[in-house]
């Protein structure tokens, strides 16, 4: 049995590794010549970590992860702590650590685990078709690939999604812009072993430790879509948006490198329930694009990969049937994640300022129990418990 995997991102590479482990021959085709991930880092929550562990990357992943022993919220304007608590109860309950990692390093680990020389870069798919024998993918250079089935992990702008759904879906702007990057840890800004977030006015500034003495940082600001993007004004823009915020936020803005700071307008896609057409299946952001508000988009792609390989490995009613079983096991789970993230996004980014003000207020009495219970529920809903 041979799979064609379209896309060499988190979803594509996780699936390629998982399918190969299940004894399926795999070819991976990636549009770009060189991978340049859109974000600087990513928090892999224990549900995602368990998937990568199962795919044989436990030790490598652990080495890339930062130590997120505590979690804290601060008032953005004054810098005063609102709450701080240990992440140990979460680790204790779910049996694995959260793992914030630099994206480029995660991407390299996945590609190297599969075999860098085996990923076919510069292959942008423009068409897929099914024949009596299987599937054919056609690329912009007019070359073709043939396989028994095709996994489309071609991201949020997926072209294969249109083939599967027989319609084009519009992405939904979530109402805020996110700037993210990496910066050397400076304990005047935040403790090195803590996920620290400053909140106020529907904005947030967050720092998460990753390996190599670095913080993954991000700034969120509710803004209209389509404002000009210019690297030369990143610091001035952030200084303006966070005028009057506490000293650590000003120090962070001073420390960032505009050349390596990404600016992303955050979108999601209304959840849908058809991931499969015949022998073609959508996976990762192609199937479920989410806002990053609960940090689960990439983790969900890892979950997809593990479930996909398991259903194909144990199928006896044919490939189409196995793919439909993959779909059945994933649709409700990922819909739940997308909608949870959307709800979190609305509260965090002041879609209703009164609700957001009440959330800020509630953080003052947060002991960690409520926050961690929500996280544990999300994590334990994954395929590996």
Going 179 to 183 to 188 to 192, the CA torsion angle's sign is positive
Going 299 to 67 to 370 to 246, the CA torsion angle's sign is negative
Q: Provide DSSP, 211-271.
A: TTTEEEEEEEEE--TT----GGGHHHHHHHHTTT--HHHHHHHHH--GGG-EEEEEEE---
307 binds ligand FAD (CB under 6 A): no
Residue with smaller CB distance to ligand FAD, 9 or 368: 9
The distance of closest approach from Cβ of residue 354 to ligand FAD in the complex, given in angstroms and rounded to an integer, is 27
The DSSP symbol for 183 reads: E
The distance of closest approach from Cβ of residue 111 to ligand FAD in the complex, given in angstroms and rounded to an integer, is 10
Residue with smaller CB distance to ligand FAD, 315 or 329: 329
Residue with smaller CB distance to ligand FAD, 246 or 294: 294
209 binds ligand FAD (CB under 6 A): no
Q: Hey, what are 191's tokens?
A: 């403790």
The distance of closest approach from Cβ of residue 78 to ligand FAD in the complex, given in angstroms and rounded to an integer, is 27
Burial of 38 per CB tally in 10 Å (0-12, 13-18, 19+): exposed
Q: Which residues does 273 contact at the CB level (< 8 Å), separation at least 6?
A: 327, 331, 335
Provide the terminal-to-terminal Cα distance of the chain, rounded to the nearest Å: 29
The distance of closest approach from Cβ of residue 100 to ligand FAD in the complex, given in angstroms and rounded to an integer, is 7
Residue with smaller CB distance to ligand FAD, 279 or 288: 288
The DSSP symbol for 190 reads: S
* Cα dihedral: 265, 266, 271, 274 (round 10): 50
271 binds ligand FAD (CB under 6 A): no
Closest CA to 199 of 218, 215, 186: 218
129 binds ligand FAD (CB under 6 A): no
* 33-72 residues near ligand FAD, rule: CB under 6 A: 38-39, 42-43, 48
Q: Provide DSSP, 80-96.
A: -EEEEEESHHHHHHHSS
| Binding residue for ligand FAD, selected from 298, 368, 382, 383, defined by CB under 6 A | 298
CA of 384: how far to CAs of 43, 344, 360, 378, 381, in Å? 18, 24, 33, 12, 8
| Binding residue for ligand FAD, selected from 20, 27, 30, 96, defined by CB under 6 A | 30
Residue with smaller CB distance to ligand FAD, 246 or 293: 293
The region of 32-40, 252-260, 343-351, 367-375 touching ligand FAD under the rule CB under 6 A is 32-40
8 binds ligand FAD (CB under 6 A): yes
The region of 28-36, 85-93, 318-326, 375-383 touching ligand FAD under the rule CB under 6 A is 28-36
Q: Give the number of residues in contact with ligand FAD, rule: CB under 6 A.
A: 35
Q: Hey, what are 78's tokens?
A: 């004054």
The region of 87-95, 288-296, 336-344, 376-384 touching ligand FAD under the rule CB under 6 A is 288-296
20 binds ligand FAD (CB under 6 A): no
Binding site for ligand FAD (CB under 6 A): 6-12, 29-32, 38-39, 42-43, 48, 124-125, 153-155, 159, 178, 180, 264, 284-286, 292, 295-299, 301
């Amino acid at each position: 049995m041979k799979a064609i995997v379209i896309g060499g991102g988190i979803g594509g590479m996780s699936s390629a590794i998982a399918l190969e482990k299940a004894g399926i021959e795999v070819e991976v085709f990636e549009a770009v010549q060189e991978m340049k991930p859109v974000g600087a880092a990513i928090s892999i929550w224990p549900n995602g970590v368990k998937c990568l562990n199962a795919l044989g990357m436990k030790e490598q992943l652990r080495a890339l992860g930062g130590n997120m022993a505590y979690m804290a919220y601060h008032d953005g304007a004054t810098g005063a702590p609102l709450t701080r608590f240990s992440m140990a109860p979460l680790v204790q309950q779910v049996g694995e650590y959260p793992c914030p990692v630099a994206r480029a390093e995660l991407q390299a680990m996945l590609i190297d685990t599969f075999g860098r020389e085996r990923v076919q870069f510069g292959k942008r798919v423009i068409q897929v078709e099914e024949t009596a024998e299987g599937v054919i993918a056609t690329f912009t250079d007019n070359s073709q690939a043939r396989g028994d089935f095709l996994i489309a992990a071609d991201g949020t702008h997926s072209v294969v999604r249109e083939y599967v759904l027989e319609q084009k879906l519009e992405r939904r702007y979530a109402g805020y812009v996110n700037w993210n990057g990496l910066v050397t840890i400076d304990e005047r800004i935040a403790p090195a072993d803590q996920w620290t977030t400053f909140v106020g006015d529907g904005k947030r500034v967050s720092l998460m430790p990753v390996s190599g003495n670095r913080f993954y940082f991000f700034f969120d600001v509710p803004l209209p879509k389509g404002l000009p993007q210019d690297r030369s004004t990143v610091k001035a823009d952030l200084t303006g948006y966070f005028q009057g915020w506490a000293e650590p936020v000003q120090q962070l803005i001073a420390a960032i490198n505009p050349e390596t700071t990404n600016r992303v307008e955050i979108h999601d896609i209304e959840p849908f329930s058809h991931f499969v057409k015949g022998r073609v299946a959508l996976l990762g952001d192609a199937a479920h694009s989410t806002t990053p508000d609960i940090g689960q988009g990439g983790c969900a792609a890892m979950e997809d990969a593990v479930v996909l390989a398991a259903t194909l490995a144990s199928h006896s009613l044919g490939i189409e049937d196995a793919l439909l079983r993959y779909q059945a096991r994933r649709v409700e789970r990922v819909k739940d994640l997308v909608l949870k993230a959307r709800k979190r996004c609305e509260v965090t980014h002041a879609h209703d300022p009164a609700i957001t003000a009440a959330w800020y207020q509630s953080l003052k009495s947060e002991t960690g129990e409520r926050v961690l219970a929500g996280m544990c529920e999300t994590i334990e809903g994954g395929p590996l418990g």
